Amino acid sequence: MGSPAGRPPGSPADGARRPLEDVRIVAVEQYGAGPWGSLHLADLGAEVIKIEDPAAGGDVGRYVPPYAEGEDSLFFEVFNRNKRSLSLDLSTAAGRAVFDELVCVSDVVYSNLRGDVPAKIGITYDALKHLNPRIVCCSLSGFGMTGPRIAEPGYDYVLQGLLGWMDATGEPDGPPTKSGLSLVDYSAGFVAAIAVLAGVHAARRDGVGMDCDVSLFDTALALLNYPAAWHLNAGYTPHRTRRSSHPSLVPFQLFEAADAWIVVGCPKEKFWQRLTGVVGHPEWAADARFATFADRERNRTELLSLLEPLFATRTAAEWLDDLYAAGVPCGPVNTIPEALADPHTEARGMLVETDHPRYGRLRLPATAARVGDLPRPTRRAPRRNEDFGHVMADVAGFSDARIAELIRAGAFGPPDDTPGLPSLPGLPKFPGLPGLAGLPEPSGAAAEIDDDAGGKEPA
């Protein structure tokens, strides 16, 4: 049996430790939502061992276009920085034996599969607690591990439609509209990371692990937040608003200046009073039609008919200069390239660099969590099975002879098709996958692993 979580990739050389360096996570993950959640844990120092199915060529995210070549893609890089990779065939007895050894020396088994799959392949707490009573089993699925939709695959785009997000987004006279980013995926990844942290804390305190059941469905529904509360308790029906305006705070929306769009908001009364001065009408602050939140919401159409022509008379830069000076919440509507080039992006260190054997020097968005003052680790995403030696010897504690036996039994996939495996004398070209003496048969069908949920659509 191997050791507790050790020094992860990119650890500081001076012995300082990142917050999660004593946490080891075995991640049966793929695509977007699951890897997004574990990325944040890896960036905070956790050792994340990514289990990649050799039959599928590893995580499907390796092949997402347009910037993909071979088993490398920019999509995969941005979701899998600072992780380790192990090719492991859980459909074989040998592969399952390796997985079980990793469970014994880990804190978390993390997955993003269809909701019914963790039980089928035996990666729930009940299936693993005999190996490690403190193991935390976090499932991030499309619809959760219970309920009538348990067996449905779930993707961000589908959930944005199903949970009312698209109906509430876009112009009133336009079609339902998806968010420009995969916010259900990303939010569910954050929720999964929170669940993992809470689970590990409780397991270390109480000595007993648990299941964490996280889903895209639950996440998207929870994020309906106050419009849902308004509907459930006051009969409010959410609706689309012009120019992405706030449903009740006026003004808080897009305004078209002479040359570009800007966002201006008055979420407090003091901001409305300041705005009236900026637009040259301080008398509006005391106008009975616009004096309070309720007044402005009730007279929204009349107020916007006054403001919108005014904003069209000057450039965006001219308005923003005056609005910033007055302390009114505002900002430009930037393109993504403009956002990445914003001086504040550099000042906050929100771009990290890694060296990649195919792409050379890469620049990627950093994760947003800042805990302590250690520099961020910046190891590129792993090639498939790149960390075989470390995981087998240093983590699982297998001898060379045992590793050779596992290779011959097909634990890691066919040797000719699996990178990173050592050459073994007399190793058959295609092992017969006989299973090792004394090992149990794997639980569940390997085909289920390919039924992912909590994934990110490529486009």
Residues with a known catalytic role: 246
The tokens describing 121, both together, are 């392949």
Q: Is 28 exposed, middle or buried (0-12, 13-18, 19+ CB in 10 A)?
A: buried
HSE (side-chain half, CA atoms, 13 Å) at 9: 22
CA distance 73 to 325: 44
> Cβ distance 456 to 156 under 8 Å?
yes
Residue (of 160, 255, 29) closest to 266 by Cα position: 255
